[in-house]
Amino acid sequence: MPAISPRQTVDRFLRAAASGRPEDMADCYGSDVVIEMPFSAAALYPARIETTREELRARFKAGSAVRTYQRLANVVIHETTDPEVIITEYDLHGRLVETGEPFVLSFLMVITVRDGQIVHSRDYTDPIQGAKALGRLPELLATLQP
């Protein structure tokens, strides 16, 4: 049995998300991880990536130049019959750095945890709200034009 349960890993991940240091979320991931985002806009972000903890750390840290996360709301964690799989729902509140404009991103994540580390996640979120929070809404709209 792992020293850290999947539930504890997800709790730690959520705390890191709203900590003001989003790069700390990377500590919750395994050295190699697969992230799937079925609703992503391919022109902005691939629907599936195989990456590393350190690449995620750099990506999360770079994102903090564009947006800051401030708090979580509506957190619901579902434990499943698979001891490695946790489903979490949450709203992440933040602000765009340049304008101070607030935003809310709503997530549903299906997370697989092994030995206290996230090794796979399937993240469902609104691609329009995500592009807005990343300051990339014009790029998303351009991909929708004929």
How far, in Å, CA of 125 to CA of 92, rounded? 11
Does 105 score more than 50 pLDDT? Answer: yes
For the chain, the average pLDDT equals 91
Question: How sure is the predictor about 10, in pLDDT bands with cuts at 50, 70 and 90?
Answer: very high
How far, in Å, CA of 51 to CA of 42, rounded? 17
If one counts the domains in the chain, the total is 1
Q: Which CATH number fits the domain that encloses residue 14?
A: 3.10.450.50
Q: Judge whether 1 lies within some domain.
A: no
**pLDDT tens digit string along 11-47?**
999 999 999 888 899 999 999 999 999 988 777 778 9
Q: Judge whether 11 lies within some domain.
A: yes
The rounded percent of the chain whose pLDDT value lies above 70 is 99
In terms of residue numbers, what domain contains 50? 6-144
Q: What is the pLDDT of residue 124?
A: 95
Does 145 score more than 50 pLDDT? Answer: yes
Q: Judge whether 24 lies within some domain.
A: yes
Give backbone dihedrals phi and psi of 129, rounded to 5 degrees, phi first: -65, -35
The rounded percent of the chain whose pLDDT value lies above 90 is 65
Using only C-alpha atoms, what is the Rg of the chain? 15
Chain centroid to CA 13? 9
Does 1 score more than 70 pLDDT? Answer: no
Does 2 score more than 60 pLDDT? Answer: no
**pLDDT tens digit string along 44-61?**
778 999 999 999 999 999
**pLDDT tens digit string along 71-83?**
999 999 999 999 9
Q: How many CB atoms lie within 10 A of CB 42?
A: 9
Give backbone dihedrals phi and psi of 145, rounded to 5 degrees, phi first: -80, 145
